[in-house]
Amino acid sequence: MQIQTIIMKVAMHCDGCARKVRTTLSNMAGVEELRVVYSEQKVIVKGAIDPNKVLQKVSKAGKAVQILEITAEPP
């Protein structure tokens, strides 16, 4: 699978929410980089991952999520 960067808007109202999202996504296979920007309600994930699976994983963690941008890296 191709390496891509996924930028999502995730509803987080406290540091605990940000921690939960970080823990949930860091355990996913294929995730190379993960950045949670709580002040902007954004999560940036980079790796060989399926955007739909990332979306489902965050949703199952109980957070409202929306994909803002997906950028594929050149091979």
Report d(CA 75, CA 59) in Å as an integer.
30
- Domains assigned to the chain: 4-72 (3.30.70.100)
Q: Do residues 75 and 6 make contact, with C-beta atoms less than 8 angstroms apart?
A: no
pLDDT of 7 > 90? The answer is yes
3-state secondary structure of 61: coil
Model pLDDT, residue 26 = 92
Report d(CA 9, CA 67) in Å as an integer.
6
pTM value surpassing 0.85: yes
1 token code pair: 């699978």
Q: Which residue, among 73, 75, 68, 74, has the nearest Cα to 6 in the 3D structure?
A: 68
Model pLDDT, residue 54 = 94
Model pLDDT, residue 73 = 84
13 token code pair: 């109202």
pLDDT of 74 > 90? The answer is no
pLDDT, one tens digit per residue, over 13-58 is 999 999 999 999 999 999 999 999 999 999 999 999 999 999 999 9
